[in-house]
Amino acid sequence: MKQKSFAKMPCSVARAVEAIGDGWSMLVIRDLFYGAGRFEDLLEHTGIARNILASRLRKLVESGVVEKYVSSDGGKRQKYRLTDKGLDLFPVLIALMQWGDRWETGAQGPTLRMVDRERGAEVATIDVRDAQGQSVGPQDVLVQPGPGATRAIHKRFDKVFAEGLAHNHSEERTA
């Protein structure tokens, strides 16, 4: 992934992808959400090579998603954990996990369940809602220039994105 060219793009999705990093980084973030914190545990669970794990952790610290801290358990070991910015990726993790559960799972079913601590019940399927709290799908929305949009974005949106994706899905499938 050509990371460096993403940070300057005038797009929150591109910048989010840049800050998260690549697939390995996403697995590190996943394991930090699950509760891992020690380098050796991350190494064992993700299956990442030692040098790649070190570089991904360094990059995640640089982008403010992960922080190092000294834990008092087990003799003042250095550990890693998500910052507030990293913890705020929780909906991204859950959305990816649930999508994988639905589309990329074998016959045995999902390997993991995310449950709430209090009741042990699985968290609900995450969905997108409108301002009134009603579920909306991709055909119910439009993307529009926001307050930080440049002139170029305004122009492009008038041309390509004005109708949203709905019209692309009104025709027959002819794979």
Task: Looking at residues 109 to 148 of the shown chain, list those that interact with a copy of itself (rule: CB under 8 A).
Answer: 109-119, 121-124, 126-131, 133, 136-138, 140-148
Which of the 8 DSSP states describes residue 129?
B
- Cβ proximity to a copy of itself: between 75 and 129 the closer is 129
Binding positions for a copy of itself, 19-38, rule CB under 8 A:
19, 22-24, 26-27, 30, 32-37
Binding positions for a copy of itself, 82-111, rule CB under 8 A:
82, 85, 87-106, 108-111
Rounded Cα gap, residues 86 and 66, in angstroms: 6
Rounded Cα gap, residues 30 and 33, in angstroms: 5
Helices 50-62, 23-34: crossing angle, 10 deg rounding:
80
Binding positions for a copy of itself, 52-71, rule CB under 8 A:
64, 67-71
For position 77 contacting a copy of itself by CB under 8 A, the verdict is: no
Task: Return the half-sphere exposure (C-beta side, CA atoms, 13 A cut-off) of residue 72.
Answer: 0
Binding positions for a copy of itself, 144-173, rule CB under 8 A:
144-150, 153, 156, 160-165, 167-169, 171-173
Q: Is the dihedral of CA 123, 125, 128, 134 positive or negative?
A: negative
Q: How many residues bind a copy of itself (CB under 8 A)?
A: 116
- Cβ proximity to a copy of itself: between 50 and 69 the closer is 69
- Cβ proximity to a copy of itself: between 75 and 171 the closer is 171
Burial class (CB in 10 A: 0-12, 13-18, 19+), 36: buried
